[in-house]
Every structure is written in C-alpha cells, then in structure tokens.
Structure 1
Amino acid sequence: MWERRAFLKAAGTGFLASLLPQRAAALATSELVFASSTLLPSGSFGAALITETGTLIANVALPDRGHDVTYSPVSGRAVVFARQPGTFAVVFDPQGREAPLTIPSVAGRHFFGHGAFSPDGTLLYATENDFDNARGVIGIYDVSGGYTRIGELDTYGTGPHELLLMPDGVTFAVANGGIETHPDYGRTELNLDTMEPSLCFVDRRDGGLVGKLALAADLHQLSIRHMAVDVSNRVWFGCQFRGAEGAPQLVGYATLDGDIRLIELPDDALRNLRNYVGSVARSAGGDLIAVSSPEGDTILAIDAATARPVFTAPLKDGCGIAPDGGGFLASSGLGDIAGLGGSTAAPHRFDFGFDNHLRRLEL
C-alpha cells in the first residue's frame, strides 16, 4: 500500500498541487491507495488511483485498454500494462511533475498485461509474447535508462500471463496459460486442442529454470492465469477452462518443492465460478486467498491453511480484488467498489468501469 505519510513524502508538493482541493484532502486522511485500469464513459481508457474510502485521487490516460498495475517504492513509479495483445506499458509518476512515459513493445513481441519490479527498483520485468515462435518471454527493462529493453528471459511455456516475484527476491513464478495467440488474429486462441499450461519457477538472475509444474494431462485445457503467494510461500493459482464441456476444479496451489494440486471446492462454489477465475489475491496476513469470477458475478475467499471456502460474496461483473486493512476490497466493470470479509470500506460507485485487476500499492 501507499501509506498516507510515505505517499505524501514520495509524491511531494508537486503532486498535491496537481490535485483538486477535495482530492488532496482525501489523500491526506487516507491510509490506503489502490490502482486499477479503467474504462471511461467516453469509451476511452485510463488508470486510476483511489482511496479505501472511495475517493478518486488521480488518473492517467492510456492509449488503449490496460490490464494490471505494478509499483516500485524505490523508484516511486507505477506501471500500467496493456491488455493482451497490447503494445504499450505506461509509467506513471505519482509526483505529478512528469508526463507519463509510454514503453512500446519491441518488434516481434507484445505485452501480456502483467509485470513486476526487481526489489531494488532498477529493473522492470514484463510477460510478453514471442508470437512468431509461440514462446513466452519475460522482457527486462532498465529503469535508470528510461525503461530501455535490455534483454529477456524464457518463461518455458506458451502464453505467459501473471508474473510474481517470490519472497526470496530472486525467483519468479510464471503462469503460462498454454494458449497460443498471434496479433494477426487478435485474441483468437489458436491451439485449444493442444495447449499445455504450466506454472514455472524462473531465476531472474540468469533465467534458469528452477522448476516446471503441470497439472494432469487430461486437464490440458485448464489455462493457469493468475496467482498470489500465501503466508507459507505457496503459490495459489486460478484457472480458466477452455474446453467445450465439463466443469473442472479451478483453484490450486504450487510449491517450490515441486508440488502442484487443485483443491476440491464444493459444488455450489465451483458452479458459481462458471469455469473462469479472473483474479487472485491474498489477504494482508496471507492467511486467506480470494478469487473472483466476473462470469459468475462472485468473489470467493479460501482459508489458505485448510483449503476450504470461508465466504462467498456476490458482485456483478466483479473481478478486481486486493487486500485492505480488515479484509478485501473488490471492484467491478460497472464501477462498483465493495468491502468484503471484514473490510470496513463502504460501497461506492464511480462513473467509470474498473478493469480486471485492483492493486493495493505496497511500499
């Protein structure tokens, strides 16, 4: 999160001066700040910063639809990644004294919507598609060099989506969705009969493969998409089923020791997810894992220790989820914000829609 005092120190007077008075006052009394890509009423796209009380703090225009957001407390920059198969990422300066910087994708690559900073803030990593070779890569960008792309690592799979840096600071968890796409065909999925999803651990220092985990062969159409790391360093993942028939389990976890498994959700909880998990988040303490389904209009929280559901909450077109002080904050494509599972946040509706992910920006 951006705690209020630390955010003000990082942002400085330039940022505060750029805010409307009521927005500056809201920031001064808020403890948490969240970020999300947005769809504006005009049909244009942006990214917004909001408080836990439902106040819009700032926004930045995007050239097209955004997806996820990452933040570095070292550089004090947030980065919004284009939705697949987007060709841009936008660096946003919270100080308000610099115009947003657009990072274009290089020839033969496009972004997959997710990324992460190195612990020291000197490098930005992004999941990308080497589309002519149906190969996933992690693009490496030099922050001090104006976000110049300086190399790439293999994801050891096809269609990488979310990328997480493990608590050790050196190991990436990569969700290879297994789906081949090519920008010549838009978002058309080209290999549903032969897709091979996996969850790979990759050493960010040299690109070495630490481990590659896959589900049973008969689940090869279960695309692994989004992840969160619990208090025990297990990587929880959510899936999207691309088969024509069936309703497999959609949530599981993996470990650096080489274990990967799906948990057994009750029939009603699984049915509510409608074969589609849109986002995964951990609670502030890491003891709860929340998953969302905009297809099923539902948010499901799971006890990480017992792998059993704790609560289910309805939210129309709800997809974004992030931890707040007491539970989770969830967002919807209709512009709704709702506090769940012990959150004290009051419901609020904005005049823009939220995209798939909501991020609590950590210091």
Structure 2
Amino acid sequence: MSTPLHSRHKPSRLIGSDKETGLNMLAQTLKNTLTTLGLASVGTAALVGAHHLGRKQYNSQARLTDYRDGLRQALGKVTAAAPIVIPSDAPAKLVQSQARLNNSSVTWISGVAELTTSEFAVVGLNAAREIVWQSAMPERVHDLLIQPLASKALQAPHVAVMGRRPSEWFWILDAHSGEVVHSIKAQTDRHFYGHACYSLQGDLLYVTENNTADFSGRIGIYEVASGYKKIAEYASHGIGPHEIVMHPDGESLLIANGGIKTERASREELNLDSMQPSLVYLNRHTGQLLQQVFPAHNQMSVRHLAMHDNGSVIIGIQFQGERHLSVPMVLTHRRGEPKFTELQIAKDDSKGWHRFHHYIASVAVDSKHNLACATSPIGGCAAVFDLSTGIMIGDTPLADCAGVTTWPSQTQYQATQQILSGLPLFLVSDGQGYLSSIGVDQAAYPQSIWVEKKHQSYAFDNHLTTLGTVDS
C-alpha cells in the first residue's frame, strides 16, 4: 500500500490518529520496499551463481568479477551514448538517417543481440569498431554475405543475412544504410541452414537448405535480378549442409556437409552415431559432383569454411564424439587431394586440441600473410595458425568468442593503446560485446599474437564479415 501524495509532501499537517496512521503507512511501505529488494538480490545472486558454475565447466579462467566488470562497462556505455534501436518496420529514411548521422564508412557487418532486451539486429561497423547503422531483425541471425559487384558502380552491394538454422527466412539489406530490401521465405518442405555465398559476379546467391521430408541436403539458387527468386536447386550430396563458399576460380562451390540430422523444432541431433560428414566440390553451373572428401572420424562434423586465394580451404570442425578424445579441429584441403591435411599444435603444448572443447565456431584466412584464425566460444579462445608451417602460433583467451574475419589492409587502424608489433590481421567478436583486434608479432621468436579490445553494448553473434569500406 503506497502513501498518498499529500501525506508524503505535507507531514506537518497530520495530527493525532491521522499522524499515527501516516507513520504506520510509511513504515509498511519501507518494509515492503526492503523485502522486495532483498528477494531480488537473493534471486540475482542465485542466478549469477548458477550461470557462473556453468561457465566454469567450459572456461576455467571464468571469474565472478567478470559480472561486475561487465556491468560497469555496460552502464558506462549506455550512459555515454545509448544505442538507437530501429524497429523492423521503420521507414527506410529512418534507417538511412542513422548512417548519415554517424558520417562513417562500413567496414564489418555482424548479427547482434541487445544486451538488456535480447532483441536481435544486424549492425554495420566502421574501422574504429563503432556502430554506423543497425537494422532490427525478427529472429536471431547467423551468417552474413557481401554481394560482389562486377563493376565499380556507385550502387551499394547487398548483404544477405541468413536466419539461424533451421530458419524459414533470409533477408537482403543495403550495405550503405542497413535498410531491408527483400525478405525471402523458404519454399514448402525446405528450411535454411544459416549460410550462403554469392557468385563472383554477384548475380546468384547459393543457399544451404534442408529437405524437411527426407533430411537430404540441398543447395538453393536464387537470382538477384528477379528479387532473389529461387530458380533451381542442387543436391549437396550429404546431410546437414552448413557453410558454403565459392572457389576463387568462380566455377565451383565448396560445401561443408555437417552430417547431422536436426529436428527442426527442438534442434535435437538425431543421428550422431551414424552421421557421415564431408566436404563437397560442386560445379556451380550444373550441380555435378566434382569431389567428396570424408574426415578420418565419422563424428568430425565439417561445419565452417574459409577460402584461401590460392585455392585451398580452411575447415573448422565440431566433434560429436567422446569428450576425452583429442581430434584435430582445424583442417585444410585443396581440390584433387585424397584426404584432409591436419594443422598441428606443438607437442609440448599441454592443452593441445582440448583447448577448443571439440568446437570451432568460425574460421578466417589472411591470404596475404598465409595465416588462419579459429574461434571457440566453448573453449573461450581464439587461435592463429601459420599455414606455411601448418603449426599454431598461439592462442588468446576470449570468453564466448565466435565471429572472426580479416582486417582490411587498406583500413586505418586506431588502437586505444600503442601497439608496436604490427597491424591487426583479424577481428574477433564475442557474446560479451567485445571486438578484439588480433595481430602477429613478427619480431618475436617464436612468433606470438597480441590482442587489443573495444567494447560495444551488444552481444555479437556467431559470424562477422568484412565489407571493406563503403561510404555511407
């Protein structure tokens, strides 16, 4: 029961029993308030404690102080500049106005969740790792693909935003503004598996799909000129196709068949004992199977791919077998080779492949420096590999990290602290809101990696993609 406004503001007018009644009401209000605060504090402490115990299972370096530090950073960010959340039905001019307001260029694009409300969006980031634009999404998104432009026309490329598998939707955004240009719904008996790739000419989009009737993997082909109308589909020659990339020759597709049958509503994995993952090469014009390669263990789910300019592909594995087994989590392959090549970790490294907890979320390759980066949110780390030697240079603890992409060489780097060991080569995003620059100290022997972080008030999702620089 709340105290009347006139009683709170004019206590001197209360006399006799009225005064006693007023004091009793104030006391009761205070008691109720303290009780509510106490219960809320106990509940919050219990939730934090339970969550922390869960984190410790996957990240031995997790600390309770992480919650305090994260809260301080989030509050400071909100106080400094609260993000503008744009509803999905906002007019195009509203979305464009934010891009103009930031007066910046888009360098990277990522899916995010707002930390306080868990609403989903896609954001464009500039070279300073600041938000240029954001566009609200009706569901959680996964991969984001940049449309190549055959000419240097002034038009902005499209960004294909894939719903998290299994999803019935993907969306096409304008890279300048973040405006949603098209919303594409899956055909009957199909749903999308979170990844796609454009042809090098930018006229076709190839999408990994699932036939819900028999679980067979499909590759849907969508024509840009007709507003992303589906014009054909190919067999993926496997179950659970996940990431798909275009070969540098522009003629062949590479498909990571994860091998897992997934029940749509629950995401339950139905065939872990009998799964058969593979890497597939397809002729993009005819769908002809050019080559299929199987990993050494049938539970090494082939999930994520990164294409090197030299025609080799970097492969991220998610192992579905016994937890005590140590299996290579990052592989390479070049068409024509009979089997995968396993990257290596130094024999005197006590953590070995176990540091990744059998889970690679994303891989990226820097073709110029012949380096690859792999992330593991469960392992709480990102690692850099030297592709010339095939050996891991080093890793760094990054809690809940998943997205990784390259740092464009032409992009000016502005560090918050002076770094003397070279320019950054990779950008890693995580669910705690950090965008971490990762570089290699070439002068050190043996070589080592360095990290420099910047925080945003978002939880970054699984994938991060490089646009280059597009003026807004």
TM-score (norm 2): 0.69
Equivalence for 1:153:
234
SS of the residue corresponding to residue 351 of structure 2 reads: helix
2:172 corresponds to which of 91, 94, 98: 91
Unpaired runs of 5+ residues, structure 2, are: 1-92, 150-155, 410-423, 441-448
Is 1:15–1:95's contact at 8 Å kept on the other side of the alignment?
no
Greater fraction strand: 1
SS of the residue corresponding to residue 213 of structure 2 reads: helix
Rounded Cα–Cα distance in structure 1 between residues aligned with 2:111 and 2:401: 14
2:433 corresponds to which of 311, 335, 341: 335
Structure 1 position 255 matched with structure 2 position 255: no
Is 1:23–1:55's contact at 8 Å kept on the other side of the alignment?
no
Paired AA for residue 198 in structure 2: F
Equivalence for 1:177:
258
Is 2:112–2:123's contact at 8 Å kept on the other side of the alignment?
yes
Distance 1:139 1:58, change over 3 A: same
Rounded Cα–Cα distance in structure 1 between residues aligned with 2:178 and 2:102: 17
Rounded Cα–Cα distance in structure 1 between residues aligned with 2:176 and 2:99: 14
Is 1:15–1:96's contact at 8 Å kept on the other side of the alignment?
no
Is 1:230–1:286's contact at 8 Å kept on the other side of the alignment?
no
Cα offset, 1:250, TM superposition: 1.0
Equivalence for 1:244:
322
Rounded Cα–Cα distance in structure 1 between residues aligned with 2:331 and 2:351: 17
Cα offset, 1:232, TM superposition: 3.0
Give a deviation string over 1:75-116, Cα, whole Å, max 9, x none: 710011011111110100134495442111111111111111
Equivalence for 1:112:
193
Give a deviation string over 1:175-222, Cα, whole Å, max 9, x none: 000001132x42110000100000000111000000000022xx1011
Unpaired runs of 5+ residues, structure 1, are: 1-13
Give a deviation string over 1:99-158, Cα, whole Å, max 9, x none: 442111111111111111112221111111112212111111111111111111111111
Rounded Cα–Cα distance in structure 2 between residues aligned with 1:118 and 1:208: 16
Rounded Cα–Cα distance in structure 2 between residues aligned with 1:233 and 1:20: 36
Distance 1:315 1:208, change over 3 A: same
Paired AA for residue 275 in structure 2: M
Deviates more, 1:201-210 or 1:238-247: 238-247
Equivalence for 1:224:
302
Rounded Cα–Cα distance in structure 1 between residues aligned with 2:178 and 2:363: 33
Rounded Cα–Cα distance in structure 2 between residues aligned with 1:20 and 1:248: 45
Equivalence for 1:195:
275
Over the matched positions of the two proteins, sequence identity in percent amounts to 30
Paired AA for residue 134 in structure 2: N
SS of the residue corresponding to residue 328 of structure 2 reads: coil
Distance 1:88 1:215, change over 3 A: same
Structure 1 position 350 matched with structure 2 position 425: no
Equivalence for 2:98:
19
Deviates more, 1:308-317 or 1:204-213: 308-317
Rounded Cα–Cα distance in structure 2 between residues aligned with 1:107 and 1:362: 36
Give a deviation string over 1:152-172, Cα, whole Å, max 9, x none: 111111100000000000111
Structure 1 position 186 matched with structure 2 position 279: no
Equivalence for 1:6:
none
Is 1:211–1:258's contact at 8 Å kept on the other side of the alignment?
no
Q: RMSD across aligned C-alpha pairs, in angstroms?
A: 2.2
Deviates more, 1:62-71 or 1:131-140: 131-140
Rounded Cα–Cα distance in structure 2 between residues aligned with 1:190 and 1:301: 33
Distance 1:160 1:339, change over 3 A: same
Deviates more, 1:33-42 or 1:255-264: 255-264
SS of the residue corresponding to residue 18 of structure 1 reads: helix
Equivalence for 1:11:
none
1:36 corresponds to which of 98, 107, 110: 110
2:365 corresponds to which of 282, 302, 307: 282
1:45 corresponds to which of 120, 135, 145: 120
TM-score (norm 1): 0.89
Rounded Cα–Cα distance in structure 2 between residues aligned with 1:98 and 1:88: 16
Paired AA for residue 45 in structure 1: F
Give a deviation string over 1:317-344, Cα, whole Å, max 9, x none: 1111111133111100111001111499
Rounded Cα–Cα distance in structure 2 between residues aligned with 1:20 and 1:305: 41
Is 2:373–2:382's contact at 8 Å kept on the other side of the alignment?
yes
Paired AA for residue 110 in structure 1: H
Greater fraction helix: 2
The number of residues matched between the two structures is 342
SS of the residue corresponding to residue 271 of structure 1 reads: helix
Equivalence for 1:70:
145
